[in-house]
Amino acid sequence: MRKKRTVGVILLIALLSSTLFLNTDGVQALSHRIVWDGYNGSEEQALLMGNEWYVPADALKKAFGIQVRTTDKQLDLAPTNNLDSQWVYTPVHYRDEVVTLMYHNVQKNPDNVTFISPNQLEEQIQALLHNNYHFISMDQYINFMLHGGAVPPNAVLMTFDDGYESFYTEVYPIMQKYHIPATNFVIVSTIDNRKSAGRPKLTWEQMREMKRNGMSFFSHTYNSHVYTVVNEQGSLRPMLSKPEYLKKLHRKETRTEFTAKVKKDLKRAEDRLKQMLGNTYSVVAFPYGAYNKDVLEVCKQLGIHVTFTVKPGINQRTTTNGFRINAGNQKIRTSELLERMGNKGKNVQLGRAKTSYTVSWDQAPIYSELTPVKKKDIWYLSLHQLHQLFGIKYEIDDVQQIVRLFPGK
């Protein structure tokens, strides 16, 4: 009798398990039926994985009338004319922060991997606009950093280094086309002396014209964009990184000599920019991203309260020595740039810790935390994340073991 009772209990447990749980690739997941207005079937099952409820993409297609397209690794959701499918997706990748992008030369046939073509630049801009990024000017950035000003969500500051003439011939027309402000950090000595070695640089006349139309120009130092010898062995380092080795005197610069040299250079650059362009405030991008504490102190003494490095990251109000994400390299695909921006400059791919799959909305990749799960060729999406991104409404009823969706609400 006891044996029969035990067998009966086991059978009952097995029966309950078959109705309440689904095996998803070896992981037991609690399941509920999915219902919505006019549909009370049992075909669609929501799964509880971890602490979140996931629903199949096909259920969203049926309930909300959206388009669902899949490949092996990607799920693309898209709107239709169905009134129940009017999902509004305006991605917010970050708030009250600014991503600063860094470029150098832009030319039609780039002869260096660190230069990009106008087509690549325009492709990036189109993708940024499509993904709800908002371009701000250096004036807005300064106001945000120093005076408590507001910036829009997904704020982007475009910066170019070295003052190449291509900024006028190639970049400026694109910026005008899309009504985007941009900043160029110029090596001021090469503007004063256009016969200096290297690629053609901007003229003061070109800069004044562009400044009247939303571009801005600031210091990349006067003449410190060089490597100097820093020891008797002849080791080379960026000039602003440490005292120079004075070969004739067989010694390094003293700290006083070093800071005086830096101060003279930075002040000369600022004086020329104010004289020739009428700049009313100062910004410096350190050549090669190199600086030390003494350089930062000199900047403060000169009233230069905002500076930039080449370190990747995102800028908050306290980041007056700003990060910049490199976007000016031929090897950087636009999709990789967008993902890195969404991850605030880090190389770690956002939202990929749980899954190797990606989701897009109307073919625009979603780089915020919408992490799909694919089980036995069925795509599942988190209800909580869908609510955060698209505002869809739902209800979990554990008593009736159903997940209720509310299309059109």
Residues 6+ apart with CB under 8 A from 13: none
- Does 325 share its domain with 359? no
pLDDT recorded at residue 16? 36
**What's the pLDDT at 189?**
97
Examine residue 208 and state whether it is found in any structural domain, yes or no: yes
The per-residue pLDDT for 140 is 98
**105 and 246 housed in the same domain:** yes
User: What is the β-pairing status of strands 394-397 and 402-405?
Assistant: antiparallel
pLDDT at site 98: 98
| Domain identity same for 111 and 80 | no
Cα–Cα dist 268/23, whole Å:
71
121: exposed, middle or buried (C-beta count within 10 Å: 0-12, 13-18, 19+)? Answer: buried
Point out the domain boundary residue: 342, 367, 395.
Answer: 342
Q: Is 102 found in the same domain as 83?
A: no
Do 47 and 180 belong together in one domain?
no
In a domain, 187, yes or no: yes
What tokens appear for 392 in the block? 């869809």
* 275 part of a folded domain: yes
The verdict on residue 391 lying in a domain is: yes
Note the pLDDT of residue 7.
43
User: Residue 367: what pLDDT?
Assistant: 60
Residue 137 falls inside a structural domain: yes
Within a domain: 10? no
Q: Which two tokens stand for residue 68?
A: 């669902």
**Per-residue pLDDT tens digits for 10-63:** 433 333 333 344 444 544 568 999 998 877 766 789 999 888 999 999 998 888
Mean pLDDT of the chain: 87
Decide which of 342, 374, 395 is a domain's last residue. 342
308 and 395 both lie in a single domain: no
What residue numbers bound the domain in which 29 lies? 17-90+354-405
The count of domains in the chain is 2
Domain boundary (342, 370, 395) is at 342
Compute the distance between CA of residue 284 and CA of residue 34 in angstroms, rounded to an integer: 58
This prediction's pTM: 0.78
In this structure, the answer to whether residues 86 and 102 fall within a common structural domain is no
Same domain, residue pair 23 and 110:
no
Decide if 6 is inside a domain.
no
What's CA 112's distance to the chain center, in Å? 24
Q: Which residues of the chain have pLDDT under 70?
A: 1-29, 41-42, 82-86, 197, 347-355, 367-370, 408-409
With helix as H, strand as E and coil as C, how does 24-88 read?
A: ECCEEEEEEEEEECCECCCCCEEEEECCEEEEEHHHHHHHHCCEEEECCCEEEEECCCCHHHCCC
